[in-house]
A and B are shown apart, each in its own frame.
Chain A
């Protein structure tokens, strides 16, 4: 299978504004310290790690919301590492992102239909009303939702709108950054089942960022474990859970409270 993403020695540093002197530049803080991996077409890859491990930064670099400071990211054969905004624009339709907090990533003044239509218009796509209808259909929302506002929806429904907006563009790749961490277990299950189905039906490639290993276990074939900006483990999910190699991964697994009073939680 061909690789959709090839990431080589990816480095990213940002200005550390908390340590910025009054005059002169802020020191650079290294977030990603040389990551190499590939994402094959059609794969569902989980990216896990504790807070501050760099998982969201990695995600934002993959969809080029951040520009890497070193290494290379190739997307379907094109080097996108340092592409300008103008050169990126035609590619942007092909890699989409679903954000963690749908309340802050959906414009509260726009109706759901407008929210889904905006990127379609931006990319000059045809048959916008049809695409909106199809996208709502795909995520299991009735068509009347097109005329509702985000505040009228539940958390799970808002997250479906986020998914609808992303898939309406018919992308190749979707990055989902902690999209279920704010939801109840039941809505969480619904959204994940939906995502699982869409990936299969639409032939999407998905990177799923989460701190919840139980969710990753269910959804992803492969898991990349990040710790302090480095990959500590990158293996098929089943093997990783059966026999975690890195001490850090084992710590993460041991820390999950299973819904079972008999679990020894040393």
Chain B
């Protein structure tokens, strides 16, 4: 069985609006799965549900989230948090808000290792230095003593990557980790994530709206519309021939500098209407049990 296996996961706002509609997907150890869709499609929601960090206004109404074969949703909350904390990590989108501006970098990486996972301070410090070297930060000792505002956006994102890998997690959720960066830095960061993921054999759930990025780092992808998975394909198959009209339209909207006539076609209204009808049909079926 895959390390992460989500089955029929439905999530809704407490006032009733559905956000995820029976989502199922797997991420095997060493595999990278892309989650793509427009904003509001529910891609980040899946990552948050897996990590147990959904906001209180949102509840899971059905489904299972198997982490290493155990359904997290059937465990007592404390036990499920312990398991998530021991085996999962997050690479967030915005490295500036994810780091505490009034603390030095070092403790922000090591405190969790010491306080929660019971490492010795010396071991944690050594680990932090090794990791910063692994994400190609020169002079790790100096950076560990720095405050976040003293570092560039690319440096901060490297630190969050290092921090995510610190406790050798089995699964990492990366939530649009390069959206805030420019292309040259994005390339370095993506290669870094892909390299680290491959070396450490981590399962990676990669949330992005950029199909270009998906084609570079993912092996499989799920395309979401309105919380419904409309396509789940291996990346090579998807780019050769997307199976769902909506995912084909997303691909046609993605600009391509090598071919100025391709790309930048808005998703046609007919395709939107069809996929909305699909969502409505799904809701009708769900309502009738």
In the complex with contacts A184-B39, A193-B264, A263-B186 CB distance below 8 A: no
Is residue B276 contacting chain A, with contact meaning CB distance below 8 A?
no
Q: Known contacts A186-B267, A213-B257, A263-B215: does B249 contact A255 (CB below 8 Å)?
A: no
Q: What's the minimum C-beta distance from A251 to chain B, rounded to whole angstroms?
A: 6
B182 on the interface (CB 8 Å rule)?
Answer: yes
Contact for B250 among A186, A192, A257, A263, CB less than 8 A: A186
Contact A155 B39 (CB under 8 A): yes
A72 to B261, CA, bound (A): 37
**Neighbouring B residues of A252 by C-beta, 8 Å:** 183-184
Please give, as numbers and ranges, the residues of chain A lying within 8 Å of B39 by CB-CB distance: 155, 184
Interface positions of B from 130 to 185, Cβ below 8 Å from A: 153, 181-185
Residues 181-225 (chain A) with a chain B CB within 8 angstroms: 184-190, 192-193, 211-218
Residue ID in chain A nearest B218 by CB atoms: A261
Residues on the B chain within 8 Å of A253, using CB: 257
Q: How far is the CB of B237 from chain A (nearest CB, A)?
A: 10
Interface flags for B247-271 (1: CB within 8 Å of A; 0: not) read: 0011101111110100111110000
Residue A125 is within 8 A (CB to CB) of chain B in the complex? no
Q: Is B119 on the interface with A (CB-CB < 8 A)?
A: no
A51-B153, A186-B266 given; A261·B239 CB < 8 A = yes
CA distance A51 to B255 in the complex (A): 21
Find out whether the CB atom of B153 lies under 8 angstroms from the CB atom of A190.
Answer: no
Bound-state Cα–Cα, A129 to B253, Å: 35
A263 to chain B, nearest CB (A): 7
Q: A255-B183, A259-B256 are in contact. Are A214 and B266 (CB under 8 A)?
A: no
**Residues of chain B with a CB closer than 8 A to A256's CB:** 183, 212, 257
> Does A145 have its Cβ within 8 Å of any Cβ on chain B?
no
Contact of A260 among B183, B187, B239, B253 (CB under 8 A): B239
Which single member of A189, A212, A216, A265 contacts B265 (CB below 8 Å)? A189
**A141, chain B: closest CB distance, angstroms:** 15
Interface string of B224-238 (1 = CB under 8 A from A): 000000000001100
| A185 to B223 alpha-carbon distance, docked (Å) | 14
Report if A259-B260 is in contact (Cβ < 8 Å); known contacts: A185-B254, A186-B38, A251-B184.
no
- Smallest CB–CB gap between A68 and chain B, Å? 25
A50–B184 CA distance with the chains assembled, in angstroms: 8
Q: Which residues of B contact A29 (CB under 8 A)?
A: none
Does B243 count as interface, using CB distance less than 8 angstroms? no
Least CB distance, A47 to chain B, in whole angstroms: 14
CA distance A137 to B209 in the complex (A): 30
Q: Please provide the chain B residues from 190 to 231 with a CB less than 8 Å away from any CB of chain A in the complex.
A: 190, 209-216
> B216 near A265 (CB under 8 angstroms)?
yes
Q: How large is the interface on A (under 10, 10 to 19, 20 to 34, 35 or more residues)?
A: 20 to 34
Contact B215 A261 (CB under 8 A): yes
Once the chains bind, are B258 and A258 in contact (CB under 8 Å)? yes
Known: A261-B235, A261-B239. A51 touches B182 (CB 8 A): yes
Instruction: Determine the chain A residues whose CB is within 8 A of the CB of B211 once the complex forms.
Output: 185, 259
Residue A149 CB within 8 A of the other chain: no
Query: In the complex where A214-B255, A257-B215, A258-B212 touch, is A50 in contact with B263 (Cβ < 8 A)?
Result: no
Known A-B contacts A184-B38, A189-B266, A252-B183; the reply to A212 vs B255 at CB < 8 A is yes
**Do residues A257 and B213 form an inter-chain contact, with CB atoms below 8 A?**
yes
Name the residue of chain A whose CB is nearest to the CB of B186: A255
How far in angstroms is the closest Cβ of chain B from A162? Answer: 18
Q: Are B255 and A218 in contact (CB under 8 A)?
A: yes
Q: Which of A190, A255, A257 contacts B210 (CB 8 A)?
A: A257
Contact assessment for B185 and A188 in the assembled complex, using a CB-CB cutoff below 8 Å = no
Q: Is the CB of A255 within 8 A of B266?
A: no
Give the complex CA separation of A155 and B39 in angstroms: 9
CB < 8 Å: which of A184, A214, A257 contacts B216? Answer: A257
CB distance from A171 to the nearest CB of B (A): 25
Tell me the bound Cα distance from A196 to B254 in angstroms: 17
Chain B neighbourhood of A265, CB < 8 A: 187, 216
Q: A257-B216, A261-B215 are in contact. Are A185 and B253 (CB under 8 A)?
A: yes
A254–B187 Cα distance when bound, in Å, is: 9
| Residue of A155, A213, A257, A259 most packed against chain B (CB within 10 A) | A259
A257-B190, A257-B215, A261-B235 as given contacts; A186 in contact with B249, CB under 8 Å: yes
Please name the 5 residue pairs, one residue from A and one from B, whose CB atoms are nearest each other, closest first: A257-B212, A214-B255, A185-B253, A255-B187, A255-B183
A-B contact pairs, 6 of them (CB 8 A): A155-B39, A185-B255, A192-B264, A211-B182, A214-B256, A256-B257
B-to-A contact residues, CB < 8 Å: 38-39, 153, 181-187, 190, 209-216, 235-236, 239, 249-251, 253-258, 260, 263-267
